[in-house]
């Protein structure tokens, strides 16, 4: 497939803000159904091919970006790279070109799912660990296919990974090969996209040597896979810093922390794999994505073997319960436990599947419960016997030993169930007048120079200490990246989660900026009203001018 980005001459009717309303036919073959999202660089539409009826996602850049040479080269690279690799774990690109107003567009397969970044923001980590290994295995397979073709992604991060639910498990798709680099294995058509000295990638996931002018290598992506696997298992990244250059300096001069220090109990082979991927020296890392996928296959096999052994210890399957329901299912075939007469077969992995929950073992106190139940039954039998026996029946040996002899002229009577005397009557204590509690003293004000923490939601921290949680820290990091990359719709959505910010004013300022960039000037004025920040005041004045007030 070739993409020449030729300009189509057929006119399209764009809306006042450059959006295409539902029903618009793009380049004569794609009917717009709805807007999937908007950002600082353009919009994404859900459309349908008018001839074959296939639903697709169409990315359309804004005019100012469509006229920037570096962006045009990245756009062309994204189209050609994805089609060159052609792997089921890489998003398919069907078409590309330019509209009559010279805006570039890219037609891709429509994925009904959400990205890994949204998953981590909601759940902090990916559970259970075998699911994190499953996801990373599919990522490694996709990158391995690219590495064999001589292509390095260079910007691997959670927002570029789509998780797509399927009937037989969960499919993973790698997106955005726009800054992918050719390692020299494919010479024809190779082109440098970035300028010398520029940082291309996301610093949190970049390899230490990626900040230098070293040519792109597959070990760039291997390091990013290590960071993402570390993050999926712990909810945090290995290194944190105040800016990108400080972060890269940490990576160059400090060894990465072991994942076992932040989440004990992981399989040793998995801990070793992550440590190898995060090695400062690229020569100590796995050479490419295929090597990472092979080690993850072995780790998943071990996980399944341990699950089978545990299931065998639980004993036979109860009647009416399917035997497979007690065993976890992985994306690899069930191994054969080696015996003196058998050996382990080598089988290829199958698509990912969801693990079934393990059955709980029997409690240790089961024997004590049975003894107690037996004693209870014996006691009930004794009581029934006492009630049913006649007055002339002799008492049991135990009761006869403790029952006092009856007087001679009195006939024997049945032994009552409870021979203890009734408790003596207890006189109620004299009524005393209630004691009045001492008056509450007013709380002294905090010392000068200190501030008391607000206790209500009306304080400066709208969510109390929730903004310190790993989820909120991740959300603020993603919001900062969205602002840096001018993804205003994402910044708007993140800033509306007020509980994740130290103050309401900070979140409102970011939302005001996002609304201004998105053209929602009325909303900009409403959200930013009352902000004292000088920068925010400038945005409010601009929004007021646009509204015409």
Question: Do 50 and 23 form a contact (C-beta atoms < 8 A)?
Answer: no
Q: Which long-range contacts (CB under 8 A, 24 or more apart) does 403-406 make?
A: none
In a domain, 429, yes or no: no
Neighbours of 407 (CB within 10 A): 6
CATH at residue 500: 1.25.40
| Region of poorest pLDDT, from 194-208, 223-237, 286-300 | 194-208
| Mean pLDDT along residues 152-170 | 90
CATH at residue 62: 3.30.200.20
CATH at residue 250: 1.10.510.10
Segments forming the whole domain that contains residue 272: 114-188+200-300
- Written as one string, the DSSP assignment of 495-515 is HT-GGGSS-HHHHHHHHHHHH
155 catalytically annotated: yes
In a domain, 305, yes or no: no
Domain boundary among 58, 90, 109: 109
pLDDT in tens, 214-226: 888 999 999 999 9
Query: What radius of gyration, in Å, describes the C-alpha atoms of the chain?
Result: 35
If you average pLDDT over every residue of the chain, what do you get?
74
Question: Do 62 and 50 form a contact (C-beta atoms < 8 A)?
Answer: no
List 49's β-bridge partners, or say none: 30
Please name which of 270, 83, 276 lies closest in space to residue 180, comparing C-alpha atoms. 83
In a domain, 37, yes or no: yes
Q: Is the pLDDT of residue 141 over 80?
A: yes
Q: Is the pLDDT of residue 60 over 80?
A: yes
pLDDT in tens, 345-395: 333 333 333 333 333 344 444 555 566 677 777 777 776 666 666 555 555
173 shares its domain with 277: yes
pTM of the entire structure? 0.60
pLDDT in tens, 316-333: 555 444 444 444 444 444
In a domain, 534, yes or no: yes
Residue 153, C-beta contacts closer than 8 angstroms, at least 6 positions apart:
143, 146, 160, 174, 177, 180, 220, 221, 224
101 shares its domain with 208: no
What's the pLDDT at 517?
Answer: 83
140 shares its domain with 236: yes
In a domain, 382, yes or no: no
Round to whole Å and give the CA distance between 525 and 426: 75
pLDDT in tens, 216-258: 899 999 999 999 999 999 999 998 887 888 888 889 889 999 9
Higher pLDDT, 323 or 55: 55
- 157: annotated binding-site residue? no
Higher pLDDT, 74 or 36: 36
In a domain, 334, yes or no: no
What's the pLDDT at 441?
Answer: 47
101 shares its domain with 245: no
| Region of poorest pLDDT, from 63-77, 132-146, 359-373 | 359-373
In a domain, 329, yes or no: no
98 shares its domain with 170: no
Domain boundary among 65, 83, 109: 109
Please tell me which residue in 8, 69, 101, 155 is annotated as part of the active site.
Answer: 155
151 shares its domain with 227: yes
Question: Helix, strand, coil shares of the chain as percentages rounded to 5?
Answer: 40, 10, 50
What's the pLDDT at 362?
Answer: 42
In a domain, 445, yes or no: no
51 shares its domain with 133: no
What's the pLDDT at 61?
Answer: 85
Token output for 479: 């919001």
Sign of torsion over alpha carbons 260, 263, 265, 267: negative
Higher pLDDT, 354 or 435: 435
Neighbours of 509 (CB within 10 A): 21
45 shares its domain with 146: no
288-292, 477-481, 526-530 — most confident range = 288-292
Question: Do 98 and 104 form a contact (C-beta atoms < 8 A)?
Answer: yes
Total number of domains in the chain: 3
144 shares its domain with 272: yes
Round to whole Å and give the CA distance between 40 and 246: 27
206 shares its domain with 292: yes
262 shares its domain with 148: yes
Domain boundary among 63, 83, 109: 109
Residue 430: pLDDT band with limits 50, 70, 90: low
Q: 3-class secondary structure for 16-38?
A: CCCCCCCCCEECCCEEEEEEEEE
What's the pLDDT at 454?
Answer: 40
What's the pLDDT at 390?
Answer: 56
276 shares its domain with 146: yes
| Mean pLDDT along residues 31-47 | 86
What's the pLDDT at 224?
Answer: 96
């Amino acid at each position: 497939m070739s993409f020449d980005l030729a300009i189509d001459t057929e006119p399209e009717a764009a809306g006042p803000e450059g959006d295409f309303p539902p029903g618009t036919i793009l380049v004569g073959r794609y009917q717009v159904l709805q807007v999937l999202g908007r950002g600082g660089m353009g919009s994404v539409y859900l459309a349908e091919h008018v001839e074959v009826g296939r639903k697709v996602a169409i990315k359309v850049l804004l005019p100012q970006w469509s006229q920037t040479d570096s962006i045009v080269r990245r756009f062309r690279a994204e189209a050609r790279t994805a089609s060159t690799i052609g792997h089921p774990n890489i998003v398919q690109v069907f078409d590309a070109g330019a509209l009559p107003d010279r805006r570039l567009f890219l037609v891709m397969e429509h994925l009904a799912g959400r990205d890994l970044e949204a998953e981590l923001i909601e759940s902090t980590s990916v559970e259970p660990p075998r699911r994190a290994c499953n996801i990373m295995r599919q990522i490694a397979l996709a990158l391995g296919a690219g590495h064999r073709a001589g292509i390095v992604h260079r910007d691997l991060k959670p927002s570029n990974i789509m998780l797509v639910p399927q009937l037989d498990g969960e499919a993973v798709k790698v997106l955005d090969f726009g800054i992918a680099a050719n390692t020299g294995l494919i010479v024809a058509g190779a082109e440098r996209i970035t300028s010398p000295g520029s940082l291309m990638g996301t610093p949190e996931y970049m390899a230490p040597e990626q900040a230098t002018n070293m040519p792109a290598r597959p070990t760039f992506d291997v390091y990013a896979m290590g960071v993402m696997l570390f993050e999926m298992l712990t909810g945090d990244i290995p290194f944190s810093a105040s800016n990108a250059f400080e972060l890269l300096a940490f990576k160059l001069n400090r060894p990465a922390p072991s994942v076992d220090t932040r989440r004990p109990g992981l399989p040793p082979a998995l801990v070793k794999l992550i440590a190898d991927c995060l090695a400062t020296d690229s020569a100590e890392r796995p050479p490419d994505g295929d090597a990472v996928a092979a080690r993850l296959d072995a780790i998943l096999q071990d996980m399944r073997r341990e699950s089978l052994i545990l299931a065998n210890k639980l004993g036979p399957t109860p009647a009416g319960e399917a035997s497979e329901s007690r065993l976890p299912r992985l994306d690899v075939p069930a191994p054969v436990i080696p015996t003196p007469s058998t050996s382990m077969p080598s089988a290829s992995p199958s698509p990912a599947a969801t693990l079934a929950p393990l059955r709980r073992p029997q409690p240790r106190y089961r024997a004590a419960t049975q003894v107690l139940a037996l004693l209870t039954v014996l006691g009930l039998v004794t009581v029934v016997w006492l009630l049913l026996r006649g007055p002339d029946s002799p008492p049991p040996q135990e009761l006869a030993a403790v029952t006092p002899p009856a007087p001679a002229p009195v006939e024997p009577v049945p032994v009552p169930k409870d021979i203890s005397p009734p408790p003596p009557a207890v006189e109620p204590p004299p009524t005393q007048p209630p004691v009045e509690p001492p008056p509450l003293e007013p709380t002294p004000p905090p010392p000068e120079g200190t501030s008391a923490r607000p206790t209500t939601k009306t304080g400066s921290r709208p969510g109390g200490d929730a903004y310190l949680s790993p989820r909120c820290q991740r959300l603020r990091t993603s919001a900062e990246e969205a602002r840096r990359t001018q993804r205003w719709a994402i910044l708007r959505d993140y800033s509306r989660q007020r509980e994740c910010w130290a103050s309401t004013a900070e979140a409102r300022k970011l939302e005001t900026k996002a609304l201004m960039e998105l053209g929602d000037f009325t909303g900009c004025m409403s959200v930013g009203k009352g902000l004292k920040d000088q920068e925010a005041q400038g945005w409010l004045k601009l929004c007021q001018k646009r509204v015409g007030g």
